[in-house]
Amino acid sequence: MTPATRTSAQEVQDGTAQRLVASPFLAQYLLLQPGRATGIRIPEARYEELAAAGATERPVPTWVTDAAKRAWSTELPAAPLGDTVLVRKRSPYGYAKASWEINLGCDYDCSFCYLGEKRFEGLDWENKQRLLRMLRDAGVLWLQITGGEALIDREFGAAYEYTHRLGMMVQVSTNGSSLRKQPIRDLFTRHRPYRLTVSLYGATGDTYDKVTRNRGAFARFTAGLDAAREDGLPIRLNVIVSDDNAHEVDAMVGLAEAYGFPHQVYTNMSPTIDGEANPLAAQAESHVQVRRVFTGCNAGHTFFHVNPHGIASICKVGRDPSVNLIAEGLEALPRLGAIAESLQLRTGGCSGCTKTGTCRACRPLAKLYQEAGDRRELYCQHGGYGS
């Protein structure tokens, strides 16, 4: 064990070391270390043992110490159990994952952004904390913090640390423009994210800056990737293909491979969340990929989305109807299940469709396309898509 991987009792007390988290997860029980991709499934009896001990001065059980060594090569400090393992309570709501737009504001101005108008607005700090506590109490163990550009929100750092203290595994979606900044580097060193998903918009300065409509953006982006690689952060790159950068697809993939980061390529543009067609004009139509057949999902049942104002919807696409958690409280959240079922019914433009068994667009996404002018060749087999 090298000194860099050891944690001391003082570090745990100061909050500079990340505690283990024991938590229910749907019908399972997990032991996790924040910032690590792997977890340990534990029997219910082991979870009950930790829950019964609570925040006490009792020593950490030997089985926890041994499990941490095997799973993460982590040597736990000689600290009380209550300082070493955060035991999350069971939730009556049954949710496991959520995404949260901390703000819609962004330092880029990509023409294909699905958010449409990107306003810097949202909850004050008191209500951000209240919202995050509600997510924890709903059972959310994995939380994606997104935007807009999440890292430029003035309260991102405080919200990110607060989320860690509540015992959630945090994924952050970002354009990477702020990863080079020392406060962000220090934050992610203190509290390692579960994953950082970073969008890639070009392989050269000219193309990247044109797509983002931000001069010098590529230099800041690559400086951020350099910093992330140096810090050993868990980066995954999303290669976003539009008509302005389609000529650099191979080069963008090559850039991801040169950094050694895993990547995925995204080529299909969607209307804005308000059903506006603007992003579709940026579609590189020769690169459109056929989506997998839609066979249903658990949106609204085991996961959900929350916008900057604390309004919860089944996902980022199906935003209406919704539930206002700030105004109505956590007790209103279960309504999302019925909302999800109603949104997935094939109504409106899909009524009487003969190809529902092989449809490749969920009903909320199809609805956005229909509101944006029904470009069927981009989502529907009746327009030639996926036929």
CATH class of 97-338: alpha beta
Nearest in space to 67 (alpha carbons), one of 80, 85, 55: 85
pLDDT at residue 358, rounded to an integer: 87
* Domain layout of the chain by residue ranges: 3-87, 97-338, 345-383
pLDDT at residue 1, rounded to an integer: 28
Which CA distances in Å does 248 have to 13, 58, 121, 252, 253? 49, 58, 34, 6, 9
What are the structure tokens assigned to 254, written together?
A: 């090559």
Other Cβ atoms within 10 Å of 1 Cβ, number? 9
Digitized pLDDT (tens) for each residue of the chain, 387 residues in all: 223 333 333 333 334 344 899 999 999 999 999 999 999 999 999 999 999 987 678 999 999 999 999 999 999 988 899 999 999 999 999 999 999 999 999 999 999 999 988 889 999 999 999 999 999 999 999 999 999 999 999 999 999 999 999 999 999 999 999 999 999 999 999 999 999 999 999 999 999 999 999 999 999 999 999 999 999 999 999 999 999 999 999 999 999 999 999 999 999 999 999 889 999 999 999 999 999 998 889 999 999 999 999 999 999 999 999 999 999 999 999 999 999 999 876 555 566 778 878 889 898 999 899 999 988 899 898 888 887
125-137 helix and 156-165 helix, angle to the nearest 10 degrees: 30
pLDDT at residue 350, rounded to an integer: 67
Residue 101: CB partners within 8 Å, gap ≥ 6?
Answer: 122, 146, 147, 148, 305, 306, 307, 308
pLDDT at residue 132, rounded to an integer: 98
pLDDT at residue 235, rounded to an integer: 98
The separation between CA 54 and the C-alpha centre of its own chain, rounded to angstroms, equals 30
Are 31 and 40 spatial neighbours (Cβ–Cβ below 8 Å)? yes
pLDDT at residue 19, rounded to an integer: 85
What are the structure tokens assigned to 186, written together?
A: 């220090």
Global pTM? 0.91
Residue 377: CB partners within 8 Å, gap ≥ 6?
Answer: 383, 384, 385
pLDDT at residue 355, rounded to an integer: 81
Are 308 and 123 spatial neighbours (Cβ–Cβ below 8 Å)? yes
Sheet order of strands, 311-313 included: 263-266, 235-240, 195-200, 169-174, 142-146, 97-101, 303-306, 311-313, 323-324
HSE value, Cβ hemisphere, 13 Å, CA-based, for 95: 30
Does residue 321 have a cis bond before it (omega within 30 degrees)? yes
- Phi, psi dihedrals of residue 21, rounded to the nearest 5°: -125, 125
